[in-house]
Amino acid sequence: MNTPYPRTFSHIGISVPALEKAVKFYTEVLGWYLIMKPTVIEEDDSPIGEMCTDVFGAGWNTFKIAHLSTGDRIGVEIFEFENQKNPDNNFEYWKTGIFHFCVQDPDVEGLAEKIVAAGGKKRMAKPRYYYPGEKPYRMIYMEDPFGNILEIYSHSYELTYSDGAY
C-alpha cells in the first residue's frame, strides 16, 4: 500500500452578496492580491459556461467572480451568485461543510479591529491564548462584512499545534 503524500492547498471559494465590496475588503483589509478583476460568467456553450453547468447544473444563468491570492500564494475565488441567500446568522458550525477559514497575522488584535472597522464583527470578546503565560500563540473568531466566518491566528498552524495546544 502506498502512503499518500500531503497535497498542497490550491484555493478556496467564498460566496458573498456583493463582489466588488468583497474584493475591496479582502484586498484593503487582508492585503490579498487581486489577480483577476471581477468578471461576469454566463450560462452558455463557452468552455467556462459548460464547466460551470457541469458543477452547478442547468439554470444558474450568470454569476460574478474575482480571483485573489494570499501572501503565501493560496488562491481565493470570490463568487456573487444571482440567487444569493444571506442569512442573518451564517454561523452553522454543526452542518457538514466548511464553516471557517483562518488567516495568520502577528497582530491579531490590530487585524480584528480593522475587520470590525470595515463592517465585520468579532465572534469572541477578545483573543484567546493557547498556552497562557507560556507562549504568545493566540486566536480569535471573526466575521467578514458578508457573514463569512474567519479566524485569525498569531502563529503558524504547525507551531500552534505542535505541543498539543489542548
What CA–CA distance (Å, rounded) separates 3 from 127? 38
Q: What is the DSSP letter of 114?
A: H
Q: Does residue 137 register a pLDDT over 70?
A: yes
The model carries a pTM of 0.91
What CA–CA distance (Å, rounded) separates 89 from 112? 19
Confidence of residue 165 (pLDDT cuts 50, 70, 90): low
pLDDT, one tens digit per residue, over 103-125 is 999 999 999 999 999 999 999 99
Instruction: Determine the pLDDT at residue 55.
Output: 97
**Average pLDDT score, the chain:** 94
77 within 8 A of 12, measured Cβ to Cβ:
yes
Degrees, nearest 5: CA angle 160-161-162 = 100
What CA–CA distance (Å, rounded) separates 78 from 42? 16
Specify the DSSP element, H or E, that contains 62.
Answer: strand 62-69
For the ranges 25-29, 49-53, 89-93, 159-163, the lowest mean pLDDT is seen at 89-93
Confidence of residue 20 (pLDDT cuts 50, 70, 90): very high
Instruction: Determine the pLDDT at residue 149.
Output: 95
Taking CB atoms within 8 Å and a gap of at least 24, the contacts of 50-54 are none
Confidence of residue 91 (pLDDT cuts 50, 70, 90): confident
Instruction: Determine the pLDDT at residue 126.
Output: 96
Q: Does residue 166 register a pLDDT over 80?
A: no
149 within 8 A of 91, measured Cβ to Cβ:
yes
Tally of CA atoms within 13 A in the half-sphere of 90 that contains its CB: 23
